[in-house]
C-alpha cells in the first residue's frame, strides 16, 4: 500500500483493535503486507475490469486493486465488521463498500449492479476461509461463482500449508484449485490460491446448467 508510515501504523492499530474484539472473525492479527497484495493482484485475469473484494479489512487489497487499474466504480467491497466498513468508506469514498456477509454476495451484488447479469472478472478474497466450516465455504464460493463470468477467478490467500477450501466443496462446485506464489513477507507468511471453474463448466452456458 502506497501510504506514509504513520498512516500504515494507524491502519494496523485499527485492524488490531478489531482482532482483540473478534479474533476468529478477523482471522489475522494485522493487515496483509504490500508484498502479499502484489502477489494477489498478479493473479487477476489479464484485462480484468470489474472486481468484487470480500473481507476488505483496512483496505490493503482495495488500494492495490485501484493501483492496478480497477476503476473505483468497478469495484465492490464487502466487509462484515461495522467499524472496518466505516473505515473503508472513509478511505475509499468512490468505491462501493457494503457492510455485508460474503454469504449474501449474490443479493448485495445484484442490488449494486454487479450481479449474475453483470458478471465480474475476479473475486479477491481476504476472508479466513481456512477456519470456516465447509457449509460456509460452499455458500461463499457458490455466491462468488454466480457473480463471476465463465473464465473468472476467485483469488484467495491462506496461512496454512495447503489449499484452504475443502475437497468436498471443490468437487460439489466443480472447481479447480491452483497454488500461486508464497511470501515470507507477511505476518504470518502466506500462499496465494486461485480457483476457477473446470473447463467443461466454464464453457457451458448458465441456462444449460
Ligand X SMILES: C[S@@+](CC[C@H](N)C(=O)[O-])C[C@H]1O[C@@H](n2cnc3c(N)ncnc32)[C@H](O)[C@@H]1O
Judged by the rule CB under 6 A, the positions of this chain that interact with ligand X are: 25-28, 31-32, 54-57, 60-61, 78-81, 84, 101-102, 126-128
Q: Beta strand pairing status for 96-99 and 75-79?
A: parallel
Tell me 192's DSSP state: E
Q: How far is the CB of 68 from ligand X (least distance, A)?
A: 15
Q: How far is the CB of 48 from ligand X (least distance, A)?
A: 17
Nearer to ligand X, 134 or 198 (CB): 134
Q: How far is the CB of 150 from ligand X (least distance, A)?
A: 25
Q: How far is the CB of 121 from ligand X (least distance, A)?
A: 18
Q: How far is the CB of 93 from ligand X (least distance, A)?
A: 19
Nearer to ligand X, 123 or 170 (CB): 123
Tell me 109's DSSP state: H
What backbone phi and psi angles, to 5 degrees, belong to 65?
Answer: -65, -45
CA distance 103 to 101: 5
Question: Do residues 45 and 121 lie in contact, with contact meaning Cβ atoms separated by under 8 Å?
Answer: yes
Distance, CA of 153 to chain centre:
11
Nearer to ligand X, 23 or 69 (CB): 23
Q: Which of 12, 9, 2 is nearest to 58 (CA)?
A: 12
Nearer to ligand X, 82 or 168 (CB): 82
Distance, CA of 173 to chain centre:
18
Grid coordinates belonging to 129: 476461509
Question: Do residues 165 and 137 lie in contact, with contact meaning Cβ atoms separated by under 8 Å?
Answer: yes
Amino acid at each position: 500500500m502506497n501510504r506514509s508510515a504513520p498512516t500504515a501504523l494507524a491502519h494496523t492499530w485499527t485492524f488490531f483493535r478489531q482482532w482483540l474484539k473478534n479474533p476468529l472473525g478477523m482471522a489475522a492479527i494485522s493487515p496483509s503486507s504490500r508484498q502479499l497484495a502484489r502477489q494477489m493482484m498478479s493473479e487477476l485475469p489479464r484485462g480484468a475490469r470489474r472486481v468484487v473484494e470480500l473481507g476488505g479489512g483496512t483496505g490493503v487489497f482495495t488500494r492495490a486493486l485501484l493501483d492496478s487499474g480497477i476503476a473505483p466504480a468497478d469495484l465492490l467491497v464487502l466487509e462484515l465488521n461495522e467499524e472496518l466498513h466505516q473505515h473503508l468508506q472513509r478511505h475509499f469514498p468512490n468505491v462501493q463498500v457494503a457492510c455485508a456477509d460474503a454469504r449474501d454476495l449474490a443479493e448485495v451484488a445484484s442490488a449494486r449492479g454487479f450481479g449474475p447479469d453483470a458478471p465480474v472478472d475476479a473475486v479477491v478474497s481476504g476472508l479466513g476461509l481456512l477456519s470456516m466450516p465447509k457449509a460456509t465455504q460452499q455458500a461463499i464460493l457458490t455466491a462468488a461463482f454466480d457473480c463471476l463470468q465463465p473464465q473468472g477467478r476467485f483469488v484467495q490467500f491462506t496461512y496454512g500449508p495447503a489449499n484452504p477450501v475443502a475437497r468436498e466443496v471443490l468437487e460439489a462446485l466443480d472447481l479447480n484449485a491452483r497454488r500461486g506464489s508464497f511470501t515470507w513477507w507477511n505476518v504470518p507468511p502466506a500462499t496465494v490460491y486461485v480457483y476457477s471453474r473446470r473447463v467443461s463448466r466454464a464453457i457451458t452456458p448458465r441456462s444449460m446448467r
